[in-house]
Every structure is written in C-alpha cells, then in structure tokens.
A = this chain, B = another copy of it.
C-alpha cells in the first residue's frame, strides 16, 4: 500500500515493468459518461517512450484493454456503468524467467536500494513500482477523468515543458493550446526555447549525460469552491499527486518559491468585479487556489523533475554486499524525461480535479 488515490474518483494502479502488465481500476466514475475509448488511448500514446516525433508514430504497443465498467454501444462508443472500470496494458517484453538474474548493484539515484531495504526481496527490475511504467495506469485513469471533467464541468487541463536545465520558456497559461504543446517533440510551446531545448537534449545524449527541468500545468474552467480545507486542500492534493510521479523533486502553485521574495503589497491578488457577478483576480499569483479552495481563476502548478538517473558514464556505487563497485555506462538512455512528463502532470491534475469536483457535489446539497 498504497496504490490507491482519491476519495470519490478512486484510482488503484498495479504493475511493474517485469510483470505481465500494468493498469488500474477506476472506482467511482459516474455512470452515463459517454466515453471515447480512442481518446483514452491517445492519452496513453502521449506518455509512451520511443516517440521521436509525436502523435504520428503510433505503434501498436501499449494498447489499453477495458475489462469492466463500460458498455460498448457501437464501434468506438462506450458508456460508463458507474461500476469499477478496470484497464490493462500488457508489457511487451515481460520476462517471467528473469527473476533472480538481476544485477546486485545498486544504481545511484535509483530505487534499487530502497526497495531492497523495504521489501527484502529482489525483483527483476529493482525498484519495480518506481518505474515510469507504473504511470500507465494513472494516465489511463486520467483519460477518463479528462472526459468527465469536460462533459460535466467544462474543465480543461493542459501541461507543457516550461524549462529544461537553465532554458526557460515564455508561455501564456491563459492562451496556450494543445496544438502549441504538441507542435514539436519537446512539448515546449515557446518555439525559441523549444529549439534550444532540443539542441540541449541532443547534446546531453551525445555526451552520455542527462537533463532535468520543469513542467507547468494549467486547469481552465475550474469553478470556484473545489477543494476542501486542511488535508484535502486542492493544492495539497495536487502536491501529493505530482510528487508521486517518478523523478519529481519539487512542486509549487501560483507564485511558488518565487513568491517568497516578493512582499505582501506586491504579491497580493486584488479582487476585481467579474463579468459573471463573481469576483475575478487581477493577478493570479494564488494560482487559482486560496485557502486550499479554487477561486475560479485558472489553477496553475509547476513540477520539478531531476535529471534522468540513468546516464552513459561509469559511476561509483555499492553492491548488495556493501562493497564499492563500478557501474558500467549505459549505452542507450533517455537523456531527458520532460517531454514525456507532460501527460503525467496532466494526469495528476485531472485525477485531483475529478475527485474534488465530485466531492463538492456532496457538499452543496442543502
């Protein structure tokens, strides 16, 4: 435990890269949602490895199979039944005989050692659930949440790469579109920054090194009133969802760490009369959340991802016998996870919002 997240839109994920498959159960998805299964698959395709160019290169791998909870109406059309939706994506290269043959070397900044310390059993791939492959289940679940939020509440969630190394993008969170994000392989919608990021990633690959960066994510159309005080503050649930992503090291909402160097006079969000009879904020330094509850402005957060731990250099480490050893350089590796992290951050935000939106239905009853 615990592989379950959410109170009402509840997601439980399973699977590791060396097993039969990965997936999830979504419990609490409302009935009568018109579900576009192809759109769920498209969300999954965005997180797949091996995409040098996006969208176009769809391979047949990572096909989601919906096991329960929906009724298929006609070709491609489905409707949710209100019952648990189980989804399975089989692993292409599972090797059931691989157990016991893993290296006993703890890779630096990986979870090999901590999984061993915790579980005392050596699975085929070290920190199995720490693998990015676990996120398949979350992205599939979020593909359903995305459709629920769009149909039920008119909420749209969109993420992008906002920095890689010290290259920072200029993006208007109120206007950026999915097409902007998906225009290039970096998922950075600032073309000038995108070009520099692409070059930096290629250089890191050639050098056997790796890069980190940040993903920014916005939810537009969020009604005021979502999120609960104290432990289920909307920013608190967003934080745990984002920090549970592989390689995440930091989270901020609105002005975040930069806001700590402002003063109250410049940082405060003045309210102004809104066109719909409800207050607007002039600036949105609160990131759409005040006291843990949405205020109707776009919800904005940013997540830091460390440089990929797998690199093309020899590294010092120890083995299970606590002996100093050398870890050989890896020939091929993914030098920067940022582009693939975009759908993961979106998934985190989608799942939080779906849960908060449903929870508010049980608050506003009298």
Which residues of A244-298 are within 8 A (CB) of B? 244, 246, 248-257, 259-265, 267-274, 277-279, 282, 285-287, 289-296
Which residues of B sit under 8 angstroms from A88, Cβ to Cβ? 67, 88
Which residues of B sit under 8 angstroms from A134, Cβ to Cβ? 229-230
Contact flag A15-B68 (CB < 8 Å), given A25-B3, A120-B364, A307-B259 = yes
Which residues of B sit under 8 angstroms from A100, Cβ to Cβ? 71, 73
A70 to chain B: closest residue by CB: B19
Q: For the complex, is A179 an interface residue (Cβ under 8 Å from B)?
A: no
Cβ A311 vs Cβ B68 within 8 A = no
Contact flag A165-B263 (CB < 8 Å), given A99-B73, A121-B82, A123-B71 = yes
Contact flag A12-B166 (CB < 8 Å), given A239-B240, A239-B243 = no
Which residues of B sit under 8 angstroms from A3, Cβ to Cβ? 25, 27, 83-84, 229-231
Contact flag A81-B295 (CB < 8 Å), given A99-B71, A251-B252 = no
Offer 18 A-B interface pairs, CB within 8 angstroms, sorted by A. Answer: A14-B69, A71-B100, A81-B128, A111-B291, A113-B271, A130-B291, A134-B229, A212-B262, A235-B243, A239-B239, A250-B251, A250-B253, A250-B260, A257-B304, A265-B313, A272-B316, A274-B322, A361-B365
A137 to chain B: closest residue by CB: B230
Interface segment among A28-36, A43-51, A52-60, A187-195: the answer is A28-36
Contact mask A16-44 → B, CB, 8 Å, 1/0? 10111111010110111100000000000
Cβ A118 vs Cβ B306 within 8 A = no
Which residues of A291-334 are within 8 A (CB) of B? 291-296, 304-311, 313, 315-318, 322-324
Cβ B84 vs Cβ A15 within 8 A = yes
CA of A254 to CA of B52, assembled, Å: 31
